[in-house]
Amino acid sequence: MNLAPTLPTQSKRQPHPVNPIAHLDEIQVFERLSTLPQGVPHMLYSRTKKSSKLPLPWLEYTNFCGRTYFYNLTLRVCTEENMYDHRLRTELYNAAIFNSAWFETDGHERWPWPSDVQHLLWYCRTTKEPHFAGITMSCQDGGVFEFLHDDTHLGQAEMWDFLYKYPMHYTRLPPFVEAQFLCAVAYGANEKALLTDHANLPFTNEEWEGIMDVYNDLKGRVGGPDGSYFVPSLIWHMAKTMKDVWSSRQHHRFGSIQAQTARAPIQTDVTSGGSTLRMITGILFLGAHSVYFERLQNVLLTDDLMCSREFGGLVDSLITEWENSNLLATVFLGSNIGFIALNNLPVLQKTASLASTLCSITSLIIGMSYLWQHRSRSYPGYLQIHRYINHRLLTLDPQTVRLITACFLSVPVVMLQWSALCFLVSIMSFSIQEVNKLGGEFLSTLLSVLVIYFFGAVIFFWKLWRDVQSLVKQ
């Protein structure tokens, strides 16, 4: 989950305080820092103002995602701003010392100064007065805190996002990080083993095993010679795993009081339009559109948030269905071509076979088109899901538009069903007309039994699921 820091709205933002140490130069800033309670060790620093050389306390890193950031060993500050720029460095030093002074006087009354505190600063260029803003991260306190807003606790999800983006400067594991990771692994393994289905965890058993194999390998190397070189890899691996776990937790809210209401039943049956329109669409689409509509509705949460993994799973299942329908459509197409090649076919048989051929070609062409359009959508972003589920069409409401979407999605399978029915008609007609009287009576009886069975199965399951929906609504 992208948890890039965002600025508060104009109505809620407190006025940016006057920085009392703006007049200090860089050496004076370090002298002030050395008097803080934790006693930050003083390091040699070059006072050169040339922007082509990075000063001594600053180190430049590139993380596993290819993102470059700068870390100051003395200030414990991470930033993606260009620290080769002397002006930006000076402003960052002022912001860092001012934040440290605020935390010491105001924030320290609520929280003691964390021993593993890390700061992330970014330059706000869109405000009226450009300035540095940032957040404070502490694994010991288990979360991220905003500068100058001591009551704003962003939580553990943001903490893992910080470790995921900025792990390269660590030489040892932060406190409690490994314990939280192993707790999540233990919970996930227990959930998958007992199949209690209390939580929608993002990994399968095979994926959990792969995660633990990588963890054990990196953990063994960290404990060996030159183990500090492997610490960033281990932190990034745990943070990447926990980012996905916390993303699932925030979508499904398991472990919180909102866990029951987050997945409250929503309307999944088709109610748009009159009864006559629903009957016509039910006959044309053989009821398949209602199943696709229900699957689209099940991706939604009650608060109109969509889960990326659920939507990706829906797209994967649709791709599998369209691949299978394309294969069957090709089989029916070949069978119909061979059947039409027979000589002296009656009009009914030839017409039914041609109709089956057209339905097979339609299913094949539309199925291939859907595969091309949806194959790259297995892991979409939030905006892509929102536009797909809640897009507008004329003046229709989103639910009606989702029903229309479900009708289009069901076309390959519906055309395949009509192709099979038309092919069945041609085969049964051919069989009855080409045999003797006794064989014709037998095949006619068999056809009647199959038709009764077909309509009986359709009515049975339609009534069964209608009763289930009525119980859910109650």
Reported as a single tens digit per residue, the pLDDT across 17-52 is: 444 444 444 444 444 444 433 333 333 333 334 445
Residue 74: pLDDT band (50, 70, 90) is: confident
Question: Can you give the pLDDT at residue 361?
Answer: 93
Residues 6+ apart with CB under 8 A from 21: 28, 29, 32, 94, 97, 98, 101
Give the tokens for residue 256.
């919180």
Q: Are strands 68-72 and 77-79 parallel, antiparallel or unpaired?
A: antiparallel
CB 364 within 8 A of CB 330: yes
Q: Has residue 10 got a pLDDT over 50?
A: no
Distance CA 57, CA 390 (A): 50
Residue 101: pLDDT band (50, 70, 90) is: low
**Residue (of 357, 340, 327) closest to 419 by Cα position:** 357
Q: Check the CA dihedral 328-333-338-339 and report its sign.
A: positive
- Between CA 328 and CA 388, with CA 268 as vertex, the angle to 5 degrees is 70
Q: Are strands 143-146 and 68-72 parallel, antiparallel or unpaired?
A: unpaired
Question: Can you give the pLDDT at residue 309?
Answer: 64
CA distances from 87 to 52, 92, 94, 135, 254 (A): 13, 9, 11, 21, 47
Q: Are strands 143-146 and 77-79 parallel, antiparallel or unpaired?
A: unpaired
The string of pLDDT tens digits covering residues 177-217 is 888 888 888 877 777 777 665 566 667 778 888 888 999 99
Question: Can you give the pLDDT at residue 41?
Answer: 33
User: Average of pLDDT values for 411-415?
Assistant: 92
User: Average of pLDDT values for 330-352?
Assistant: 86
Q: Has residue 264 got a pLDDT over 70?
A: no
Distance CA 332, CA 103 (A): 73
Give the tokens for residue 425.
């008609």
Q: Has residue 402 got a pLDDT over 50?
A: yes
Question: Can you give the pLDDT at residue 2?
Answer: 39
Question: Can you give the pLDDT at residue 97?
Answer: 76
When the pLDDT of each residue in the chain is averaged and rounded to a whole number, the result is: 73
Residues 6+ apart with CB under 8 A from 299: 306, 307, 310, 311, 314, 385, 389
Residues 6+ apart with CB under 8 A from 105: none
Question: Can you give the pLDDT at residue 37?
Answer: 37
User: Average of pLDDT values for 61-66?
Assistant: 87
CB 2 within 8 A of CB 164: no
Question: Can you give the pLDDT at residue 11?
Answer: 38
Question: Can you give the pLDDT at residue 380?
Answer: 67
**Residue (of 242, 231, 255, 233) closest to 180 by Cα position:** 242
User: Average of pLDDT values for 76-96?
Assistant: 84
Hey, is 270 helix, strand or coil? coil
